[in-house]
A and B are shown apart, each in its own frame.
Chain A
Amino acid sequence: MTVLFPKWTNKIPVFAALGAACKGLVVIFVVWFWFSPKHIDVGYQPEQPILYSHKLHAGLLGMDCRYCHREVESGPHATVPDADTCMGCHKQVKNDSDRLTLLRDNYGDGSGDNIPIPWIKVHLLPDYAYFSHAVHMNANVGCTSCHGRVDQMEIVRQVEPLSMGWCLECHRAPEAHVRPAGVKPTDMAWTPTEASIAAARERLTRGELNPPTHCSACHR
């Protein structure tokens, strides 16, 4: 019989099988690890149209988040302030600052062209995930749990993955993120204590606090 293949070709099927198995595992690992929001979303820090400093306003000046994000307690969105809110102060304070040119141009008193400031959304949830700020605020979940220490950020960046697994982690064990009565949710420096964890656990047991983990809680 004619020899069609050299002897070393006997090893091809074994190496092909092993190679395919390894390749499969590598692909799964790469997608799981590097394609996750932990890697592709955390650290997102877009350049905003106005060089606004949260560190100055929320940190040094100590303004409450709700002064600007005023729908946070009553609606699903925290809302980004309109130019009126900014100009409430900035008509008096630093009203000739170069940084505020865009704000003054777009201020809706008829003097500008009246186009909303094109802020870039940093914390973006997909359309198919229902999320309400109001519910979380009323359960006294602090801003820092999801947004981090915004009072220390010159420019806001995303510090948490906002992935479904990350949401579920907290919904399954929210003790460290629920604040006791009397502590403001907007208090940036607050950290959980043994007492606060015990109190949150107590509320969970009594059923006052009931974070849902079923699909239609968020996918309605």
Chain B
Amino acid sequence: MTAITVIDEPENPLRRAPLVEGTNDFTSVTNIVARVVENKTPKGWYLMFGAAIALLLNLGAMIGYLIFTGIGVWGNNSPVGWGWPIVNFVFWIGIGHAGTLISAILFLFRQKWRTSINRASEAMTIFAVMAAGIFPAIHVGRIWVIWWVFPLPNQMALWPNFKSPLLWDVFAVSTYFTVSLLFWFVGLVPDLATFRDRAAKAGRTVAARVYGAFSLGWHGSNRHWIHYEKAYLILAALSTPLVLSVHSIVSFDFAVSIVPGWHTTIFPPYFVAGAIFSGFGMVLTLMIPARQWLGLQELVTLNHLDNIAKILLLTGTMVGYAYGMEFFIAWYSGSEYEKFCFTNRAFGPYWWAYWIMVSCNVISPQFFWFRSLRRNPMFLFVVSIFVNIGMWFERFVITVSSLNRDFLPSSWGYFSPTIIDILTYAGSFGLFFTFFLLFCRFMPIIAISEVKGVMPQANPHHGHDDHGHGHTAAHTH
């Protein structure tokens, strides 16, 4: 028998890097994740949570002021009728795309490195979609008639306009939110049961009851696992098309109109690439401090960050291609309005926003061609902030620079946000971080059961190498 020798050197490209580092076994992985919740709340958490709550209260105040006063408190005005609210909506909904991509698409492609970041990314998705959903809702102005977007019987003989992409948006986003929430919850059940059992053992009755209520009586029988795996696979299959469809439909809000700069067929794939780019950017922004502060470096390893950086490089370059292609088509179309729109975009009154967008989204990820930079958490964190900024500016550029100089020069204008615009946007971060900090404090931030499944100990052959069945392969773990 030929012995297969796998050489254990870190630089050997044939060697697959371990997904869990250090000398961890199943118990220690559970301990690492559970101690985040069971340890005394750190002071830093209170500080950050206080700041997040303050911003959230500010959001409530801004929304109240808006509802009682009217849309005029924002900078939206002719010719720029869509200002920051839509920019913020697309910004947040874009961020909400990484979670489901990681949990569904990477799951179906058997990308095992997803396991340690999928839980937090899904949580990020859900909170980002919540932050996103606020903006179109308050943007209708008369929020008390928001139910008009649903096909409900009424005395006005009023029915939603099914030809309008704005209506498709309602259904796309609410479907996405529902499926993401279910997917997240189903994945959480075994881990919540672990937390329940630990809490019960430690005599923390209230915690045991709360975790117990949400773990739906899970006790880890084979039958439970069979159903769980099936449900998880079905939800992954349901979520996969949604990752692509939701942002395509968001892009239709623009592309189905006839405004130069919006009316382009490249929008759906361009928006989806941008959404994944921004989502992974936010994953890095959240996970790099989280792994540091919560002591998760052995589970969220440099290899994970390296992989995310590669996706940023890919999607950032795709977005850059889309920016270039827009200019090519504007020239190739021969339409003077298209040409004017794109010249105006890059060299008009919003040139600064355009070049911020290009430098953050196209240039900054190019550093990730270098392995050493992909594995430098500090550098990754800084670039991820640039990605967040760049992707917000992308939506700003698309929305505002297409509208500010329309067909009629007499109605040209310059959009400026008001203080209410700025505070409302800041408030949406308050909502997002309030939920995310609560999640970090009280929930299993890493999918314990899934991480265990990708450890060498989970392999049925683990520890059976020396049984003398003739398989003398010198495995090293």
Asked if chains A and B come from one complex, the reply is yes
Contacting pair B155 A163 (CB below 8 A): yes
Contacts of B155 in A (CB 8 A): 32, 36-38, 161, 163-166
Contacting pair B219 A1 (CB below 8 A): yes
| Complex Cα gap A37–B156 (Å) | 10
With A1-B197, A10-B217 known as contacts, the answer to whether A165 contacts B212 (CB < 8 A) is no
Contacts of B28 in A (CB 8 A): none
For window 152-205 of A, CB contacts with B under 8 Å fall at: 161, 163-166, 168-169
Partner of A32, one of B153, B208, B212, B219: B153
Contacts of A168 in B (CB 8 A): 157
Contacting pair B200 A164 (CB below 8 A): no
A4, A10, A13, A37: which has the most chain B beta carbons within 10 Å?
A: A4
| Complex Cα gap A161–B155 (Å) | 9
Whether, in the assembled complex, B112 has its beta carbon less than 8 Å from a beta carbon of chain A, the answer is: no
Partner of A165, one of B157, B197, B208, B213: B157
Report the minimum CB–CB distance from B153 to chain A (whole Å): 5
Whether, in the assembled complex, B325 has its beta carbon less than 8 Å from a beta carbon of chain A, the answer is: no
Partner of B208, one of A4, A10, A164, A166: A4
| Complex Cα gap A13–B189 (Å) | 15
Report the minimum CB–CB distance from B462 to chain A (whole Å): 27
Contacting pair A4 B152 (CB below 8 A): no
With A10-B217, A164-B155, A164-B157 known as contacts, the answer to whether A5 contacts B212 (CB < 8 A) is yes
B-side interface residues, number (CB < 8 Å): 17
| Complex Cα gap A144–B200 (Å) | 75
Residue ID in chain B nearest A37 by CB atoms: B155
Whether, in the assembled complex, B154 has its beta carbon less than 8 Å from a beta carbon of chain A, the answer is: yes
Partner of A4, one of B153, B156, B157, B212: B212
Report the minimum CB–CB distance from B407 to chain A (whole Å): 21
Report the minimum CB–CB distance from B157 to chain A (whole Å): 4
Contacting pair A13 B216 (CB below 8 A): yes
Contact indicator per residue, chain A 25-61, by CB within 8 Å of chain B (1) or not (0): 0001000100011100000000000000000000000
Whether, in the assembled complex, B395 has its beta carbon less than 8 Å from a beta carbon of chain A, the answer is: no
Report the minimum CB–CB distance from B476 to chain A (whole Å): 38
Question: Main secondary structure on chain A at its contact with chain B?
Answer: helix
Residue ID in chain A nearest B217 by CB atoms: A10
Partner of A164, one of B158, B217, B219: B158
Contact indicator per residue, chain B 230-254, by CB within 8 Å of chain A (1) or not (0): 0000000000000000000000000
Whether, in the assembled complex, A2 has its beta carbon less than 8 Å from a beta carbon of chain B, the answer is: yes
| Complex Cα gap A5–B216 (Å) | 10
Residue ID in chain B nearest A13 by CB atoms: B216
For window 197-232 of B, CB contacts with A under 8 Å fall at: 197, 200, 208-209, 212-213, 216-217, 219
Report the minimum CB–CB distance from A15 to chain B (whole Å): 14
Whether, in the assembled complex, B405 has its beta carbon less than 8 Å from a beta carbon of chain A, the answer is: no
Contacting pair B200 A165 (CB below 8 A): no
Contacts of A163 in B (CB 8 A): 155-156
Contacts of B339 in A (CB 8 A): none
Whether, in the assembled complex, B114 has its beta carbon less than 8 Å from a beta carbon of chain A, the answer is: no
Whether, in the assembled complex, B196 has its beta carbon less than 8 Å from a beta carbon of chain A, the answer is: yes
Contacting pair B213 A5 (CB below 8 A): yes
Report the minimum CB–CB distance from A206 to chain B (whole Å): 26
Contacts of B209 in A (CB 8 A): 4-5
| Complex Cα gap A12–B216 (Å) | 10
Contacts of B154 in A (CB 8 A): 32, 36, 165
With A4-B208, A5-B213, A165-B157 known as contacts, the answer to whether A28 contacts B152 (CB < 8 A) is yes
| Complex Cα gap A5–B213 (Å) | 8
Contacts of B158 in A (CB 8 A): 164-165
| Complex Cα gap A192–B196 (Å) | 75
| Complex Cα gap A166–B158 (Å) | 11
Contacts of B157 in A (CB 8 A): 164-165, 168-169
Residue ID in chain B nearest A5 by CB atoms: B212
Contacts of B212 in A (CB 8 A): 4-5
| Complex Cα gap A13–B213 (Å) | 10
| Complex Cα gap A10–B212 (Å) | 12
Residue ID in chain B nearest A2 by CB atoms: B200
Contacts of A169 in B (CB 8 A): 157
Residue ID in chain A nearest B203 by CB atoms: A2
| Complex Cα gap A4–B192 (Å) | 14
| Complex Cα gap A47–B157 (Å) | 32
A sample of 14 inter-chain contacts (CB < 8 A) reads A1-B197, A2-B208, A4-B212, A5-B212, A28-B152, A32-B154, A36-B155, A37-B155, A163-B156, A164-B155, A164-B158, A165-B155, A165-B157, A165-B158
Known: A10-B217, A13-B216, A164-B156; 6 extra A-B contacts, CB below 8 A, are: A1-B197, A2-B200, A5-B217, A164-B155, A164-B157, A168-B157
- The chain B residues found within 8 Å of chain A, CB to CB, are 152-158, 196-197, 200, 208-209, 212-213, 216-217, 219
